[in-house]
Amino acid sequence: MFVYRVNMKRWTNMTAAFRIFIFCAIFINVNCQKEEEEFICPGGTQGNGNFADPATCRRFYQCVDGFPYLNRCPSGLYFDDISKFCTFKAEARCGPIPTTVAPVTEIPQDIVTNCDPSECQLPYCFCSKDGTLIPGGLTPQMIMLTFDGAVNLNNFDLYKKVFNGKLRNPNGCPIRGTFFLSHEYSNYVMVQSLAHDGHEIATGTISQQQGLQDKGYEEWAGEIIGMREILNKFANISRSEVVGTRAPFLKPGRNTQFKVLEDFGYIYDSSIGVPPLPQPVWPYTLDYKIPHECKSGTCPTKAFPGLWEVPFNAHYVESYEGGHCPYLDQCVLHNHDADDVLEWLQEDFTRHYEQNRAPYMMPFHTNWFQIKPLERGLHKFLNWAANLDDVWFVTMTQSLTWMTDPRSVKSLNNYEPWKCDKKEGPKPCNLSNKCALPFKLPETNFTDTRYMETCVDCPKQYPWLGDSGGTGIAGTDNYIPESLSRK
């Protein structure tokens, strides 16, 4: 028998946890493994909602009436305990993160005023006290399909299955979507093809960098206007056709981003998230204070008259099954079959359709289409919705065009902005150029190779921030607003 001598004075002074560790290490037959603690939903008004799993960032608890249901994020995603949904690892802030009362701060001097309906009149201004006001009478239910990120071989055929020409609006036109393009890995032959088919092309940013919300005017102009220049040079899309943008990770750049949009003639932004509300919020102009909570904390505090915001209404169902999310692929539906997904989308949609008919935006990343039950469930939903007589699938710009001059449902079959007989963008090319281009990030000494396909001649270098034309000369781009260049 082994005898272990322990200095009792030192033993007494040890922390309890360390003493248990020593005890377990000595008496190896004793089972000292700590059992996972039972999760208890927060009390009071916070007893419902999504809460971080203390054990891992890959899971979270969904509390319904005080009872916790354990959920796992889809493959490759992690639970963000601030935004309360699953997102990419680089964006996720793992919890539990303790909630604290926000400190009292002085009101910014440039804060905008609340909506004044007597001063805010269409077509140049639209606002309401809580954002739920309907701008017209017999309102159509608009659905906006939007897609973020690069377009390439990973998703082009999946997107084409959605827009296969079989689903049509009541006027006979094929349904269309809006693509918020980021640059890296985009195939500009495919982008040009989408534009030719009548889809709206809008800008994300060139680099999709994190922390852009805290950067200055030059950085925002370089990212957004640089992306518009790339679309013009390598996808043959007219600058005047690119009128909308979306900030990376739905983190708008406070007043700076919106000043850039104002200076360079953009019509709308679509970056501001709305928390789960009983009634959805309509798009609004930024003449006044935004009519809902700013989820990101980086919304504008100045007025930008006439610039539209198309907000992200939260997606959720009454039971909060799957949680709530801005992007549909961030709700936890990966364990559902196609019929379950159809029912979930129908309930989410009905909150718009049976109430104030705010446009139902369906925003996606490629992730959604890589999970077959989700993809099949979406196609079931689209087929179901397309058979409703007063439902129209429109682009972002088409929805805002209607809002500036609302028309009744009965007149929409002859509504010119929603027709499809007008000439579309430049035709896709038969022979494209597949470019292998040197690429060097400014902050590194390492030169890599990036591949880019385009219908125009290959540039000398992979286009990037400061050199959207790929000339190989860093800092070539110098974005000066049109209003200043004419002075």
* Residue ranges with strand state E in 89-205: 141-149, 177-181, 200-203
Please report which confidence band the pLDDT of residue 47 belongs to, taking 50, 70 and 90 as the band edges: low
Residue 278: CB atoms within 10 Å: 7
Please report the pLDDT score of residue 110 as a whole number.
Answer: 59
Please report which confidence band the pLDDT of residue 105 belongs to, taking 50, 70 and 90 as the band edges: very low
Domains of the chain, CATH where assigned: 37-97 (2.170.140.10), 141-418 (3.20.20.370)
Please report the pLDDT score of residue 190 as a whole number.
Answer: 97
Stretch 259-269: mean pLDDT: 97
| pLDDT value at 64 more than 90 | no
- Give the best-scoring range by mean pLDDT among 324-333, 386-395, 433-442: 386-395
The token pair at 474 is 């860093």
Stretch 332-338: mean pLDDT: 85
Q: Tell me: the pLDDT tens digits for 130-161?
A: 999 999 777 999 999 999 999 999 999 999 99
Please report the pLDDT score of residue 479 as a whole number.
Answer: 86
Q: Tell me: the pLDDT tens digits for 163-180?
A: 999 999 999 999 999 999
Identify the weakest region by mean pLDDT among 18-32, 43-57, 76-90, 300-314.
18-32
Identify the weakest region by mean pLDDT among 34-38, 63-67, 73-77, 306-310.
34-38
Please report the pLDDT score of residue 109 as a whole number.
Answer: 52
Of 112 and 178, the one with more pLDDT:
178
Q: Tell me: the pLDDT tens digits for 24-43?
A: 443 334 444 434 568 888 76
Stretch 63-80: mean pLDDT: 77
Please report the pLDDT score of residue 37 as a whole number.
Answer: 65
Q: Concatenate the DSSP letters of all residues of 418-479 into one string.
A: G-S-S--SPPPPSS-EEEEEEEE-TT-S-EEEEEEEESSPPPSS--BTTBTT--S-TT----
Please report the pLDDT score of residue 121 as a whole number.
Answer: 93
Share of the chain above pLDDT 70, in %: 86
Q: Tell me: the pLDDT tens digits for 364-377?
A: 999 999 999 999 99
Q: Tell me: the pLDDT tens digits for 187-221?
A: 999 999 999 999 999 999 999 998 999 999 999 99
The contacts found for 330-336 with CB under 8 angstroms, 24 or more apart, are: 330/77, 330/85, 330/86, 330/87, 331/85, 332/71, 332/72, 332/73, 332/74, 332/86, 333/374, 333/377, 334/74, 334/75, 334/371, 334/373, 334/374, 336/373, 336/374, 336/377
Please report the pLDDT score of residue 219 as a whole number.
Answer: 95
Cα separation of 477 and 43, whole Å?
55
| pLDDT value at 80 more than 60 | yes
Please report the pLDDT score of residue 480 as a whole number.
Answer: 75
